[in-house]
Structure 1
């Protein structure tokens, strides 16, 4: 077995649980997320990443139970448990499991989680062992994440078959307390090495700020204030562009949350998925306004998981409105959707108008991230 490739495989079981319930993250809030009705999302996304790896010649090193063992057991891949946590897993367990992988000679570490998990894995792996992230967190700003679980599986296979290049990329995370209070402040925590195929790996999130940006946000907001007079409830996703719309209407939006406006006033602030579903039922008609994440291009599936597949289905995918400044569109090579529901993703995918000024729009292709580069 000396020539056999070894892949460390780790799942953060609580990653992403805080998204749909409006917690903007799960680190330190797992119990509250469960109390609000959150359900695990990372185990299934880990399983999806493994589904297309049947027949690969590798030994997967993993942690016990829901930290990786159970997903690998379902996959039928060859694996070995090299670490077991004593209780509900923590960040320390992620670091210890990663250390165990390296001690056992891992050539690659694959983890399922968000930026917090990426920080913990990279803290141990450094630049000596490449890492790949299966996206499952509420926020994913780091450049080690594949654009979908399917893409992560493709990257693992490509690595094992020796046909991928590597690149260094930044591990980025936000200040959790500031983030939950509505302030986005990111920090670079380290540099990692990751197998790279441009179409399969996301870029690090970019924030654009200039005088021209503000002018175009104002124009978008003025146009939105006109078409929002139709009596519908409008679900506004996170971000500065949607916040500008609310500001122009005289409403104070939660910058990093999801809010609902109707007739110029907020009827639901910092909403969870349940709040949005209830509001749609009460309002009778709802539309959704979102702006893609800079450089990454995700329209849905990152940072605003409260706008869930069921929320989109109730509102109708045809009532999805995308807004973005011209500069953001120019610097964002593709628009992606990753709601976790392939059917909804396919309904959203296709040629769509993106409002980028006052009565000005560009036609852009929106792609289901699970389909990109995996055909």
Structure 2
């Protein structure tokens, strides 16, 4: 049997800004590290490739050196051919730590160079880990007919070239190895202005398309952007949540237009794309980091986490709200998670379940189940959550 030739590129800086509330990592990796951010991209790829361990003999990897590729393959025992890339960055086999990441100055140009070199090897699939910025860099230099598949590791993932979670990426590759019928389709690559994003303004733009394996169970849809036209429904949802609020309970208010309506109706400043803390209908802290949430949870007698669904994609965790880390979610508890969504937003899922991709496989499994969704004033519906695998 012919081996599947897979090119591997990891952006080791991807996702660094998420847990420390920077809304992205472009141009701020050093700041993120100084704030205590820990690299996650390597672990995300390990989760994806762990699905493939029993198929080692069926895959031929060609990859960038060090933390851009070979470090993960060495850890899992995969054989590979390493690309001879740039000389400007020290990509030796260092520990996967913030210090190692900061010492290895990878750039968009490093990613583009690796893609160009992989194209010369006539690979069957380019597997890459990153966010929308990484996808955009790859799209700029990728040969039009080279299939790609993204392992979601960034903070913002609007593009439709990513698997719904790392494990799904591995399972899709298994289908290709087995010779299952996996169609290819062109999918949008979108990115936003991170500076505007940090100021609460979403400016998403189409930068191109890339060819991806078409498997609805494993590949995410494009994020639905823009503000809901049914503002009155969102206002009703906000009224319902405010009516339900209890005294002396810490409310962790997630990002999005639906949760923003709660804050607006309370007359509180809101971080549209961040996480805020509220108690007794007063703002306790705004745009909080993971560590700040954990600190607040230490003294909170009771807590509720209020989050909304990303329309089109369906994710409730793992897309733009990495401050809500596995540690945070476990301390809050599944029973204290309140999901908000208009019926229109749920309909955009076309019957597919909502999704969780926290980065912790066991936690994702624990979060699977049916949830009561606040969809209006005194109006609820029941809808399932999946980890995309179970």
Residue number among 315, 330, 353 corresponding to 2:332 in the alignment: 315
Residue number in structure 1 paired with 2:98: none
Q: C-alpha displacement at 1:4, in angstroms?
A: 4.5
Q: C-alpha displacement at 1:38, in angstroms?
A: 0.7
Q: C-alpha displacement at 1:287, in angstroms?
A: 0.8
Matched, 1:166 2:184: yes
Q: Distance in 2 between matches of 1:154 and 1:182?
A: 36
Q: Which moved more, 1:80-89 or 1:184-193?
A: 80-89
Cα displacement string for residues 270-308 of structure 1 (whole angstroms, at most 9, x for unaligned residues) = 000011111222333221000011110001111001011
Q: C-alpha displacement at 1:31, in angstroms?
A: 0.6
CA contact (8 A) 1:243 1:255 kept: yes
Residue number among 196, 208, 214 corresponding to 1:178 in the alignment: 196
Matched, 1:194 2:212: yes
Matched, 1:204 2:203: no
Residue number in structure 1 paired with 2:378: 359
Residue number in structure 2 paired with 1:36: 35
Matched, 1:69 2:70: yes
Measured on the aligned residues, the alpha-carbon RMSD in Å equals 1.5
Residue number in structure 2 paired with 1:93: 110
Matches within 5 A, 1:276-355: 276-332=293-349, 333-355=352-374
Q: Distance in 2 between matches of 1:175 and 1:83?
A: 32
In structure 2, list runs of 5 or more residues that go unmatched: 90-104
Report the TM-score when normalising by structure 2.
Answer: 0.91
Residue number in structure 1 paired with 2:60: 59
Partner SS for 2:60: strand
Q: Distance in 2 between matches of 1:225 and 1:344?
A: 29
Q: Distance in 2 between matches of 1:34 and 1:229?
A: 37
For the structure 1 residues 349 and 130, does the alpha-carbon distance in structure 2 shift closer, same or farther, using more than 3 Å as the test? same
Q: Distance in 1 between matches of 2:263 and 2:368?
A: 27
For the structure 1 residues 365 and 124, does the alpha-carbon distance in structure 2 shift closer, same or farther, using more than 3 Å as the test? same
Q: Distance in 2 between matches of 1:118 and 1:180?
A: 20
Q: Distance in 1 between matches of 2:76 and 2:156?
A: 27
Q: C-alpha displacement at 1:321, in angstroms?
A: 0.2
Matched, 1:12 2:31: no
Matches within 5 A, 1:250-261: 250-261=267-278
Q: Distance in 2 between matches of 1:48 and 1:340?
A: 9
Report the TM-score when normalising by structure 1.
Answer: 0.95
For the structure 1 residues 303 and 28, does the alpha-carbon distance in structure 2 shift closer, same or farther, using more than 3 Å as the test? same
Matches within 5 A, 1:256-271: 256-271=273-288
For the structure 1 residues 81 and 42, does the alpha-carbon distance in structure 2 shift closer, same or farther, using more than 3 Å as the test? same
In structure 1, list runs of 5 or more residues that go unmatched: none
Q: C-alpha displacement at 1:144, in angstroms?
A: 0.7
Partner SS for 1:238: coil
Cα displacement string for residues 209-265 of structure 1 (whole angstroms, at most 9, x for unaligned residues) = 454x20110000001111113321110111000000110011121100110111112
